[in-house]
Amino acid sequence: MKLTSDLHVVGGGYFGFGISGRLDCNVYIINSGSELALIDPGMGIGRDFDTILDNIRDDGLDPGRIRKMILTHYHCDHIGAAAEAQKRLDVEVYASALAAPVIRVADEKAVALDVAKAANFYPEDFFLPACPVDVELDEGDIVKVGNLELETYDTPGHCDGHLSFVMRGGDRTYLLGSDLVFWGGKVVWQNIHDCRIDAYAQSMFKMERVEFDALIPGHLQISLTGGKAHVDAAAAAFRQLGIPPNLL
Ligand SMILES: [Zn+2]
């Protein structure tokens, strides 16, 4: 589905738009006109990534023009399909410097796949394929997609190595926030080894200082205007020494 002249949503499951695999995160295509980039390819169970490719084509876009795949963090609902996407699309893969070594070897403990399976959140027979990472990103790095520029922000808290991106140069300013924050200032708390309240609060305060129009999250609904209000709500909850409400 075309959201704006710069952005399409081409995947998302039960916690999203129900347009691809049930466990897929929201999957986005950035369209600069001259070049496409894929943001998180989803979980990739069975033939679910084919559905995402079909959605891209249905939007009138050629998957062969995707040059970059950006992975926001290493949870399986975001990167399970990364290896398949990398092979089929021949893309350059981007991830945080902290997530890259985990993704390269598919470290299932680091990505908390073992506890997610034990909680019946992911199927028992799912395994995470290893995916090469070409470019390791740090705070402040700029990723160019044609004339669009994505500025990298380290935003740990939901998990270590989580990145958010502020995209400028299009018809508005976007926060590609992945699992940092959702509508109404909700966040995703999980009982996993690298979900950290203090880091989450610092990440939210950091993004509170950045101006943007659209909140483009990793799950649930998108706010094409007024997106900043959701970061502000989460930051306000942290400032009261509390924690924002949980999406789960
Ligand atoms: Zn996540």
**pLDDT tens digit sequence for 150-179:** 999 999 999 999 999 999 999 999 999 999
Q: What is the pLDDT of residue 90?
A: 87
Instruction: List the chain domain ranges.
Output: 7-239
pLDDT one-digit tens code per residue, 186-233 = 999 988 999 999 999 999 999 999 999 999 999 999 999 999 999 999
b (16+ CB within 10 A) / e for 153-181 = bbbbbbbbbbbbbbbeebebbbbbbbbbb
CA of 73 to the centre of ligand 1 (A): 7
> What token pair was written down for 155?
């935003």
CATH superfamily of 7-239: Ribonuclease Z/Hydroxyacylglutathione hydrolase-like (3.60.15.10)
CA of 67 to the centre of ligand 1 (A): 24
Cα distance between residue 167 and residue 143, in whole Å:
9
Percent of the chain with pLDDT over 90: 92
CA of 195 to the centre of ligand 1 (A): 10
Q: What is the pLDDT of residue 54?
A: 98
Query: Phi/psi of residue 14, each to 5°?
Result: -60, -40
Which whole-number Å values give the CA distances from 99 to 62, 122, 219, in the listed order? Answer: 29, 20, 20
pLDDT one-digit tens code per residue, 121-142 = 899 999 999 999 999 999 999 9
CA of 168 to the centre of ligand 1 (A): 24
